[in-house]
Amino acid sequence: MQETLIVLGLFVLAVALRSSRTVVLRKSGAVMFLAASFWLGYFLTGSKLGGVLGVMFWFFLPWFELLTHIRGLRLPLNNRLHHRRLPDPRLFPNATETAVAMEEAGFEHVSDCGWRWAGMQQFFRFYWHPEERAVAAICLCEQSEVAFAFISVTSHDLAGGTWRTTNFPFSPTLRYSADIHWNYVPCEQSCFHFILDQHREFLAQQQVTVENLRVPDPEDVEDSLEREMVRQVDLNLASGIIHLTGDGHFKYSKRGLVFLWGQFLKDIVRLS
């Protein structure tokens, strides 16, 4: 009974800490989950090895999804954006407030479009600002009953490099080329003015001046995203992350599944 109470107490403490809004306490909650798993494994097996296996269970849990669902995914080789209406605002958190903030910052609306990707629907609302030399986007991702939104601000330099600041909450599921430079801000930061300021600071830190940036073409925003996806697919085909299926689609290779597992682990650590 004492052993059961110890494990239950640790799990209850972990849940309580995870419900906190303080980052340090939430991280402590994740550690408590690992501690509870260790003692559960230890008490069930009577050995420290059992405790270690209890902890490792959480890190190998993503393989269930990788082997049962993602392994069989077939993704379109040439995915095209299509014009779409704005989704139900109830499924698009803070979309109206973000659009207003973009317009307050001088960004102008360009287009609304979307595509289907890996069983997920993605909607994009694009804005541009010639003086900032940047394109901003609000994106809604819908998959089954799950939906989340994120914001990005993108600039392109004269040498062909891409500089992007985003609050996208997950690690990318495909490798990006070295000329795409990412600046991630915490996913709970949904204020566009904050993200724009972070983008400016990011460029300044990398010594990328406005004079080094290309003025975006509002007519080319959608085609630019499609070209970026084509380059990304080609890069991952060359590196063996994905392979062709012979019918206009591609799927993850064994190496790709290991890559995705590593991305899952990054998210577990980063989002804990």
Residue 138 in this model has a pLDDT that exceeds 90: yes
* More reliable by pLDDT, 23 or 79: 79
Residue 14 has which token pair? 């972990």
The pTM of the full predicted model, rounded to 2 decimals, is 0.83
Give the Cα separation of 173 and 75 in Å (integer).
12
Q: What angle do CA 125, 126, 131 make, to 5 degrees?
A: 150
* More reliable by pLDDT, 46 or 136: 136
User: In 49-178, at which residue ranges do the beta strands (DSSP E only) sit?
Assistant: 75-76, 82-83, 108-117, 120-129, 134-143, 146-156, 162-166
What is the per-residue pLDDT for 36? Answer: 86
State the average pLDDT over residues 190-196: 93
What is the per-residue pLDDT for 41? Answer: 85
Q: What angle do CA 174, 170, 29 make, to 5 degrees?
A: 140
